[in-house]
Chain A
């Protein structure tokens, strides 16, 4: 039934987003990008792709930051086009996508203010998808209560923050806790929202969001080893969704070292590969927890890309919009990585990006 009327309101935008998606860089594009000698070559090479001459008006010594900025700008423009052409419930869905960025921005601003960075510099570093008007006022707040009362109360993030009002002072640890509590609330809310807009969307989004939740759970667990964070506090930060929930989460809440995390992941088929090589890596060289985490992060990204790619196999659902934004983000990360490798002449690591198609 969804398929019957889907195209009335969202068919155009789905077509647009699928068109955008077919413009993502392919394996062969990456192959030729990695062969570039200088950033000028890089620019020439990119101009042959869907990015077109987005760098044509940049004066000659290019920086990787410019490339990343301009590429992000393209994504933002595309997203804004989608957003302004959408109607309910798609527009709401697209808004949900921005909430994630909004949370990141809020946390960035709070942390920045805490460390007494320049406000304008901070504002520039915010992700353009997560900007809202009252955002600049965040930097006057000194505790969570004030933060909530003065700024966040009128943003869509307000309900997410309600849970963490108890946290007293703003310090690095608390901010991290706030971020994770808020993100947990956001993921759960998004998960529930996805269930209300049709079964196909729910199916696609649930698999992506479940992975996202698991990823956070695992990350929180690994990062909280040897910190002041108590196990009860840790358990509170875990999203109540995902494939590890509830049994895996319970074990993770009590975990003390990375092996326990690995055992939990063994229970889920798709996650089994996360720790595959890390065992051998650990045995032949003492990479330590940090090395495993770095490798894990890479695997997570791969998994995310894989899930987002799967979203495009289903028609008549909104998951494609989410997936497109995420894939494009990954692509921008890839481009920036390659550009950075070229700029710093680190050719041996140039292939460490995550190919999408």
Chain B
């Protein structure tokens, strides 16, 4: 197969290569290969713990770096004003290969650490400062609120006094306070003031009430503005409280409860003058602090700005370094620990490129020892690698979502490029809408270069990823729209219609009269708006969906043929492909033929009624051989249907039994010749020896051992039978359910058309 050109039809040819890379070049070589991205390395030491591998130290170091970078990122994100992060494509790349690599990485490590310590320091000082500011702000609030409270109390004083004149206990307490106000003598009025989290205020009150058995007077007010925690950015809202109680013991208790509940207490003097003094003092200190805080914040911001400039490339480098060392952990040291041994799958076409890359890496690092690449012979199945470009990528991804073909099997992604947009268009079918999405896709393609570098959000990103799919879908929709003669759910009159509408009759209805010529392309626009238009298009589109569906299925079924031929599996052709084809065609292929035949007959000239094909198909299976004479499609229908049904019935056991039988016979033959499978009779002990072998052998040896195990599994007869049963059931049921699914095409045509029409009707009503 001398393919010179990468094809989507089959996946790339791969080969298992062994790389012998001198230790000093290994890092650069892996970096180069990583940039190429077309080697799949095998893990050569799967038995080794992740932390016992060779390059754990380096990985740990990069992880530490990654942690720092993440820290910066989170700091930048938390910052309220947006800190610009210079995108990766804009910043100059950091060189991490070549002779200066180690130096550069060290330097980066140091820079990151420096930035971190500086940032942490700034955060700390910022935090302590803002903590202090917060305390002062709280103190100011407490002072103000208490002042308000005392003022109020003073005005009410006289009233209270008169009202409480005859009761004893509150009066006493009140007297204390009153004395305090009236006399200039310093007297410690018994109260505690402070701030507490608003969510806790009710619990606080409740607990206090219970602890003091109700012997307290508590007052609290909200502080309107929230306090923002500088480190986490969360807002907390607080309340000022002031509690009056009697006796030192109680006050001590209050203080203790308050402290344990996370409240902050402030020493407030009962004297009004002193209060205003301290308020003034607090305000002055607050002003000072705020300037300092502002400056610190500014400094921190400029630091963040500096970090933001480099953040993207640091992230890039750190990620790459980690990936490189993780790859290198897959490698093995040779005996003298001078070279690293790697094994990996490589597309044969890319070998020269890989050689170039390795040579480049060697030159860069300034040594003369070129890594050696040699082929390893193996009969393991290589991984599937389908080369895509920006056009085919989207389609291939859709296919891969269903399942990935085995190595060198026919890749359905190639055909999906046509079938996917086409089936979409069958549903969508509208020139106008098709053009809209076509131009939308065209716009996305024109913005390709710009958008590809940006980070798009999830939804837009998805559309952008599928832009070529959308382009083709739009294009195909225009075509099917022409066929359906639909533009924004209206019809186009391009040519003369094949029908004339005479003047309406007495009941307002008019019957179209054929004028002899035929509409050359698509559906005649006269159908649009005709009373039986919906009936006609429904029946037409439903049948068309079935026809397209069966063609699609038949084609897909045929795709296995090249595989069987290429891998020389004639048995699969006879035991799978042929019975499957017969099964499909004798039921659903026949239905398609009937549909086409029914279309080709002018039923107005026939004496029988046009038969319902759905009922025909059901009757064919439920009551074989009997065809109602009134709904006969053609003569001899009953006989032909019985033959087809029998054919289909025969195919089921054919699929079910033939392949297992032949495989069984083949093995009998081999055993008859005297060959006995080693692992067949005594599987138990054999497996254990395998494990021992696996432990002892390395590299190639393992590959062969694993290979043998796989082979052994394949020969398990019961597995073959079960697999074949599943396959058969899946196929037969699949045929039916898929045909039903294709009817969904038709259902969607109707829905889309109706939505468009209804939307227009509503617009008109407005």
Contact with B along A20-49 (1 / 0, CB 8 A): 000000000000100111001100110010
Asked if A60 CB lies within 8 Å of chain B CBs, one says: yes
From A151, which residue of chain B is reached at the shortest CB distance? Answer: B207
The interface residues of chain B lying within 8 Å CB-to-CB of A229 are none
The interface residues of chain A lying within 8 Å CB-to-CB of B257 are 136-137, 140
The interface residues of chain A lying within 8 Å CB-to-CB of B206 are 134, 154
**Chain B nearest CB, measured from A339 CB (Å):** 14
The interface residues of chain B lying within 8 Å CB-to-CB of A153 are 210
Known: A150-B207, A153-B210. A139 touches B260 (CB 8 A): yes
Known: A44-B56, A134-B206. A140 touches B260 (CB 8 A): yes
Decide if A44 touches B260 in the complex (CB within 8 Å).
no
Asked if A59 CB lies within 8 Å of chain B CBs, one says: yes
Q: A119 to B206: give the CA distance in the assembly, Å.
A: 20
* Residue from B50, B60, B64, B260 in contact with A137 in the complex, judged by beta carbons closer than 8 Å: B260
From B252, which residue of chain A is reached at the shortest CB distance? Answer: A140
**Chain A nearest CB, measured from B153 CB (Å):** 28
Decide if A140 touches B67 in the complex (CB within 8 Å).
no
Asked if A247 CB lies within 8 Å of chain B CBs, one says: no
Known: A119-B259, A137-B261, A140-B257. A57 touches B70 (CB 8 A): yes
Decide if B64 touches A140 in the complex (CB within 8 Å).
no
Contact with A along B672-693 (1 / 0, CB 8 A): 0000000000000000000000
* Residue from A44, A134, A149 in contact with B203 in the complex, judged by beta carbons closer than 8 Å: A134
**Chain A nearest CB, measured from B422 CB (Å):** 41
Q: A138 to B51: give the CA distance in the assembly, Å.
A: 47
Asked if B211 CB lies within 8 Å of chain A CBs, one says: yes
Decide if A36 touches B210 in the complex (CB within 8 Å).
no
* Residue from B64, B70, B259, B261 in contact with A60 in the complex, judged by beta carbons closer than 8 Å: B64
Asked if B49 CB lies within 8 Å of chain A CBs, one says: yes
* Residue from B50, B67, B71, B261 in contact with A136 in the complex, judged by beta carbons closer than 8 Å: B261
Q: A120 to B52: give the CA distance in the assembly, Å.
A: 42
The interface residues of chain A lying within 8 Å CB-to-CB of B71 are 57
Decide if A134 touches B207 in the complex (CB within 8 Å).
yes
Asked if A56 CB lies within 8 Å of chain B CBs, one says: yes
Q: A262 to B71: give the CA distance in the assembly, Å.
A: 57
**Chain A nearest CB, measured from B114 CB (Å):** 15
Decide if A56 touches B51 in the complex (CB within 8 Å).
no
**Chain A nearest CB, measured from B63 CB (Å):** 7
A residues contacting the other copy or chain, number (CB 8 A): 29
Q: A41 to B211: give the CA distance in the assembly, Å.
A: 51
The interface residues of chain A lying within 8 Å CB-to-CB of B211 are 137, 140, 146, 150
Decide if A41 touches B253 in the complex (CB within 8 Å).
no
Q: A146 to B250: give the CA distance in the assembly, Å.
A: 13
Asked if B256 CB lies within 8 Å of chain A CBs, one says: yes
The interface residues of chain A lying within 8 Å CB-to-CB of B261 are 136-137
Known: A45-B49, A56-B63. A136 touches B210 (CB 8 A): no
Asked if A286 CB lies within 8 Å of chain B CBs, one says: no
Decide if B51 touches A133 in the complex (CB within 8 Å).
no
From A40, which residue of chain B is reached at the shortest CB distance? Answer: B60
Known: A44-B60, A57-B67. A140 touches B253 (CB 8 A): yes
Q: A32 to B47: give the CA distance in the assembly, Å.
A: 11
Decide if B260 touches A119 in the complex (CB within 8 Å).
yes
The interface residues of chain B lying within 8 Å CB-to-CB of A119 are 256, 259-260
Q: A35 to B207: give the CA distance in the assembly, Å.
A: 51
From A148, which residue of chain B is reached at the shortest CB distance? Answer: B210
The interface residues of chain A lying within 8 Å CB-to-CB of B207 are 134, 137, 150-151
Contact with A along B249-268 (1 / 0, CB 8 A): 00001001101111000000
Decide if A136 touches B51 in the complex (CB within 8 Å).
no
**Chain A nearest CB, measured from B208 CB (Å):** 8
* Residue from A37, A48, A136, A138 in contact with B262 in the complex, judged by beta carbons closer than 8 Å: A136
Decide if B256 touches A139 in the complex (CB within 8 Å).
yes
* Residue from A44, A59, A151 in contact with B51 in the complex, judged by beta carbons closer than 8 Å: A44
The interface residues of chain B lying within 8 Å CB-to-CB of A56 are 63, 67, 70
Q: A36 to B64: give the CA distance in the assembly, Å.
A: 19
Q: A37 to B262: give the CA distance in the assembly, Å.
A: 42
> CB within 8 Å of A: which of B183-210?
200, 203, 206-207, 210
Q: A123 to B256: give the CA distance in the assembly, Å.
A: 14
Q: A284 to B203: give the CA distance in the assembly, Å.
A: 58
The interface residues of chain A lying within 8 Å CB-to-CB of B259 are 119
The interface residues of chain A lying within 8 Å CB-to-CB of B210 are 149-151, 153
Q: A60 to B60: give the CA distance in the assembly, Å.
A: 10
Q: A146 to B210: give the CA distance in the assembly, Å.
A: 9
**Chain B nearest CB, measured from A55 CB (Å):** 10
> CB within 8 Å of A: which of B44-67?
49-52, 56, 60, 63-64, 67
**Chain A nearest CB, measured from B66 CB (Å):** 8
Q: A207 to B260: give the CA distance in the assembly, Å.
A: 39
Q: A153 to B213: give the CA distance in the assembly, Å.
A: 13
Contact with B along A120-147 (1 / 0, CB 8 A): 1001000000000110111110000010
Decide if B260 touches A136 in the complex (CB within 8 Å).
yes
Q: A56 to B260: give the CA distance in the assembly, Å.
A: 33
Decide if B200 touches A133 in the complex (CB within 8 Å).
yes
From B56, which residue of chain A is reached at the shortest CB distance? Answer: A44
Q: A138 to B71: give the CA distance in the assembly, Å.
A: 38
* Residue from B49, B60, B253, B256 in contact with A32 in the complex, judged by beta carbons closer than 8 Å: B49
From B74, which residue of chain A is reached at the shortest CB distance? Answer: A57
Q: A36 to B50: give the CA distance in the assembly, Å.
A: 10
**Chain A nearest CB, measured from B715 CB (Å):** 31
Known: A56-B67, A136-B262. A45 touches B51 (CB 8 A): yes
The interface residues of chain A lying within 8 Å CB-to-CB of B253 are 140
Decide if B50 touches A45 in the complex (CB within 8 Å).
yes
From A44, which residue of chain B is reached at the shortest CB distance? Answer: B51
The interface residues of chain B lying within 8 Å CB-to-CB of A60 are 64
Contact with A along B568-607 (1 / 0, CB 8 A): 0000000000000000000000000000000000000000
Q: A103 to B308: give the CA distance in the assembly, Å.
A: 49
Decide if B51 touches A36 in the complex (CB within 8 Å).
yes
From B53, which residue of chain A is reached at the shortest CB distance? Answer: A44
The interface residues of chain B lying within 8 Å CB-to-CB of A37 are 51
From A41, which residue of chain B is reached at the shortest CB distance? Answer: B51
> CB within 8 Å of B: which of A266-322?
none
The interface residues of chain B lying within 8 Å CB-to-CB of A136 are 257, 260-262
From A58, which residue of chain B is reached at the shortest CB distance? Answer: B67
The interface residues of chain A lying within 8 Å CB-to-CB of B64 are 60
| Known A140-B211, A140-B256, A140-B260; 15 more pairs at CB < 8 Å | A37-B51, A41-B51, A44-B50, A44-B51, A56-B63, A57-B70, A119-B259, A133-B200, A134-B203, A134-B207, A136-B262, A137-B260, A151-B207, A153-B210, A154-B206
For this complex, 5 residue pairs linking A to B, each with C-beta atoms less than 8 Å apart, are: A35-B49, A41-B51, A44-B60, A136-B262, A139-B260
List the 8 closest A-B pairs by CB distance, nearest first: A136-B260, A41-B51, A137-B207, A150-B211, A150-B210, A133-B203, A44-B51, A119-B260
